[in-house]
Amino acid sequence: MEKGKKTVKRSVLPLYLAALVWPLSLLVPTVSMLAFVLRTAALSALVLVVGKWIWKNKEVEEAPPEETGEKAKEPEPPKSTGNPAIDKLMEDGDRAISEMRRLNDNIEDPTISRQIDEMEEVALKIFDHVIAHPEKLPQIKKFLNYYLPTTLKLLNAYDRMGAQGVSGENIDGTMEKVEAMMDTIVSAFRRQLDELFGAEAMDIATDITVLENMMIREGLIDPPLQPEETKSLKWKGYCQDERERKRTGIDLDA
C-alpha cells in the first residue's frame, strides 16, 4: 500500500504571541522611543523562542489519495491480427456498424429502422466470417468498396432530408426512392452472406454423395430407385390391384 508524504506542520501561535507583545508594550511607560523599540523587540524575540519550544513543529503524514475505482489505464492499442488487410476490415467494419446505429437512432420510420437492424445483423455476420476466414476477403471487395458505403450514403441523405420537416418534390421523391430500394439492399446483404458459404455447401454435397455411395456398396442402405425402376414398381402394383379386384369383385380404389 502506498504511503503518504510526510510534511512539517509549523505552529503559528508563537508568531501571534510575539506580535501581540508590541501593542501590549504601549501600555507600559517608557523613557524614549529607542528604549521602547529595544525593550519590545527583545521581549517579542523571547516570547517567540519560548513559544516555539512549547509548541514544537510536528511531522504530519498526508493520507494517500483515495482510489475511486480501477486505476486509469492507458488506452489500449487497436488489436492486430497480424494481417493488415483483416485489421483494416475490422476498422472499417466497426466504423460502418457505428454509422448504421447512428442513422437508426436518427431515422424515425419504423420500416427503415427494422431494415437497418437487419442490415447491421447481416453485416456483422459477414465481417465475423471473413475475419475468421481471411482467404474469403476477395469475395467481399465489391461489398466493402461500393455496396456498403453507397448504402450508408443513401441512408445519410434520407436522414438529412427527413430532418428538414418539410415536404417538396425533391425531398419526398428522393426519400420514396430510398424507401423502395431498402428491401433490395437487405436482400443483397443476405445474398452476400450466403455466397460466402458456397464452397462449404459444395464440399458438404460431395461428402454426402461419397458417404451415400459407400453405404450402398457396404449394403447398409438400399440404392435409390431410378426413374425406370419407379415406373416398373408402379405398373406391378397396378397389375396386382387389378387381379385382386377381379378375384374379390371389390373396387380397391373406392
Encode pLDDT of 159-171 as tens digits. 999 998 888 999 9
Encode pLDDT of 229-250 as tens digits. 555 555 555 556 556 556 555 5
Q: Is 91 left (phi over 0), alpha (psi -120 to 50) or beta?
A: alpha
- Looking up cell 369383385 gives 249
Which of residues 157, 185, 200 is at a domain's end?
200
Q: Report whether pLDDT(56) > 70.
A: no
Task: Indicate whether 127 belongs to any domain.
Answer: yes
Task: Indicate whether 149 belongs to any domain.
Answer: yes
Task: Indicate whether 68 belongs to any domain.
Answer: no
Specify whether 131 is located in the same domain as 173: yes
Give the 3-state secondary structure of 45-103: HHHHHHHHHHCCCEEEECCCCCCCCCCCCCCCCCCCCCCHHHHHHHHHHHHHHHHHHHH
Choose among 197, 87, 89: nearest CA to 141: 89
- Tell me which of 55 and 94 has the higher pLDDT: 94
Specify whether 32 is located in the same domain as 124: no
Model pTM score: 0.57
For residue 216, how far is the Cα from the chain centroid? 51
Structural domain tally of the chain? 3
Specify whether 10 is located in the same domain as 107: no
- Tell me which of 117 and 80 has the higher pLDDT: 117
Task: Indicate whether 70 belongs to any domain.
Answer: no
Specify whether 194 is located in the same domain as 233: no
Q: Is 6 helix (H, G, I), strand (E, B) or coil?
A: strand
- DSSP single-letter state for residue 140: G
- DSSP single-letter state for residue 248: H
Kind and range of the H or E element at 158?
helix 148-162
**Domain of residue 10, residue span:** 6-61
Q: Is 201 helix (H, G, I), strand (E, B) or coil?
A: helix
Specify whether 144 is located in the same domain as 192: yes
Specify whether 42 is located in the same domain as 116: no
Question: Residues 6 or more apart from 118 whose CB is under 8 A from it?
Answer: 186, 189
